[in-house]
Each structure stands twice: as C-alpha cells, then as structure tokens.
C-alpha cells in the first residue's frame, strides 16, 4: 500500500474514532480495514509518471474513459485531465468531465501525452491554434505520444506524426497521409514512441499496451482481468471488412463533411493548401 493511501486510512480511522455518533456505541469502533492488500506486488510496479490526457469540447467520451481506466491503474503515476481551462468539458454524447489541470499549468516534460478523438469537436480542435500549439509543444518533449480514434488527426495537425506509422478510426485513417504519416490498418500501432489506436473501443487495447510498456505483461494481464475485458460482441460488424455493406455506406455518408474538413485543415497546417 502506498504512503498516501495508508495516511488517508489512518486519518479516516482517527476521524471516525472521534465522531460523537460512535461515542454512543456500546462497542469501540474497529480500525478501518484496508480495501486492497497489495503487499505481494513487486516494487517495480510502482512508478512516478506524469501523464496528461487532453479534454476538449465534443470529444468522444469512450475514447477517453477506456484508456483513462488503464492509465489510472498505474501505481504511482500522476494522471491529469488537461483542458484549455478548468471549466467542465462536455463530450459529443453529453457527458461532462471536470478537468484537473489547465493547459497553461501542464508540466512541460511529460512521460505520456494522450489525445482522444471525436467528430465535429475534433475538427474544431484541429482548427484551434492554441490547442494545436499546446500539443506540438508538449508532444515534442513527451516520452510517449498517444491517441485513440481521430485523436491521431489532432496529433497530425500538431506535426507529431510526420514520418511515423499510425492508425485512426477507419473513417479517417487515410487522412493521416496529409500529415506526413503512413496510415496502417491495425487496432494499435506503435512506431518508436508514438502509439495510436483505431476507433473508440480500441482505446482499451491501447491502454493495456501502454500498461505493459510502463510496467510489465503480468501487470497488464492483471488489469485486463480486473476489467473482465473479454469482449464477445453480438455482431461481427466492427470493421468495414465484416460489417454489412449497407452499414458501411450509412456510416461513411454521415462523415463526408468531417473528412473533407479534416483534409482541408491538415493540408493548410502542413502547407498543402
């Protein structure tokens, strides 16, 4: 058990012991029980990484939450949810998140930078000069630069994928070429210190990949077990290769404006238009 948790439990026990409600009890209060026994965990499982996970209006919540579950499991790591300000940020489906750190206060030297994707919100973010400049600055210093879904387009807009192999949501994957990257059709792609995930649900796979890199395989396997991540989808329609033609056409048609806008934005940022 880490020192902070032990101190918290000791303080909580002391507070409970002093409670006037407990003073009325016939029996003295029992000491607070430790919620988890982590005494058998090896010492190298405890790190001290500085991790920044970006929030911006209209991002896709599951892009963020899946990786956040895994990254927050890294014992000793400091995970910050970073946005332009500390005001709540609303996702594309209406879930609202509270940032823990403003971009201006984000450490310059990060162990890991993570960017989620989305639809119109991501396109708006690609056109936001301050946000793109923030990513470019922190990304060029970070030990690991990561994304899920169309978050890789934001990395591309910031010039962080030029010369790298990368992936994205299937709708947007080929657009990575506009940022000087080599698009790859894969669930998770690692090229040196860049790790990108495909669409939405691939964030859990990306998170587990990172956990293994920063700790070890047993740690990652233990987190997969804790999350009971053993997907058995009711349909085999998770990629354009396996989905019905009608579904592919419907989804492709929904995003023609997004694709066109993203292409134009990437070309403008990289001098191609």
Q: For the segment 197-246, what is each residue's pLDDT rounded down to a tens digit? A: 999 999 999 999 999 999 999 999 999 999 999 999 999 999 999 999 99
Classify residue 23: in a domain, yes or no.
no
pLDDT at residue number 33: 59
Q: What is the CATH number of the domain that holds 123?
A: 3.40.50.880
pLDDT at residue number 40: 80
pLDDT at residue number 236: 98
Catalytic residue among 53, 84, 123, 149: 149
Classify residue 239: in a domain, yes or no.
no
Q: For the segment 94-122, what is each residue's pLDDT rounded down to a tens digit? A: 999 999 999 999 999 999 999 999 999 99
pLDDT beyond 90 at 185 = yes
- Report the domain count for the chain: 1
- Rounded percentage of the chain residues whose pLDDT exceeds 90: 83
Classify residue 13: in a domain, yes or no.
no
Classify residue 82: in a domain, yes or no.
yes
pLDDT at residue number 36: 74
Report residue 257's pLDDT band, with 50, 70 and 90 as the boundaries: very high
d(CA 171, CA 194): 20
pLDDT beyond 80 at 147 = yes
Classify residue 32: in a domain, yes or no.
no
Classify residue 138: in a domain, yes or no.
yes
- Structural domain harbouring 258: 47-229+244-268
pLDDT beyond 50 at 4 = no
Report residue 11's pLDDT band, with 50, 70 and 90 as the boundaries: very low
Classify residue 33: in a domain, yes or no.
no
Is 106 among the catalytic positions? no
Q: For the segment 17-74, what is each residue's pLDDT rounded down to a tens digit? A: 333 333 333 444 555 556 778 778 899 999 999 999 999 999 999 999 999 999 999 9
Classify residue 118: in a domain, yes or no.
yes
- Rounded percentage of the chain residues whose pLDDT exceeds 70: 87
d(CA 74, CA 216): 11
């Amino acid at each position: 058990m880490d020192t902070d948790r032990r101190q918290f439990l000791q303080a909580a026990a002391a507070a409970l012991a002093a409670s006037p409600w407990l003073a009325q009890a016939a029996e003295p209060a029992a000491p607070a029980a430790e919620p988890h026994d982590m005494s058998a965990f090896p010492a190298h499982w405890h790190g001290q990484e500085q991790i920044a996970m970006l929030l911006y209006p209209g991002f896709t919540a599951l892009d963020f939450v899946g990786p956040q579950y895994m990254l927050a499991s890294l014992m000793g790591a400091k995970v910050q949810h970073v946005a332009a300000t500390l005001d709540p940020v609303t996702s594309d489906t209406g879930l609202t998140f509270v940032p823990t750190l403003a971009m201006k206060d984000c450490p310059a030297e990060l162990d890991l930078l993570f960017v989620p994707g989305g639809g119109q919100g991501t396109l708006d973010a690609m056109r936001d000069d301050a946000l793109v400049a923030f990513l470019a600055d922190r990304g060029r210093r970070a030990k690991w630069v990561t994304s899920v879904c169309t978050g890789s387009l934001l990395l591309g807009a910031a010039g962080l994928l030029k010369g790298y192999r990368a992936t994205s949501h299937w709708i947007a994957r080929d657009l990575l070429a506009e940022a000087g990257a080599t698009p790859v059709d894969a669930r998770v792609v690692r090229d040196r210190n860049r790790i990108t995930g495909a669409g939405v649900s691939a964030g859990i796979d990306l998170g587990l990949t990172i956990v293994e890199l920063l700790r070890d395989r047993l740690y990652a396997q233990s987190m997969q077990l804790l999350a009971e991540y053993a997907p058995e989808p009711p349909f085999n329609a998770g990629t354009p290769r396996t989905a019905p033609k009608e579904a592919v056409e419907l989804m492709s048609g929904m995003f023609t404006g997004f694709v066109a806008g993203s292409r134009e934005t990437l070309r403008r940022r990289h001098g191609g238009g």
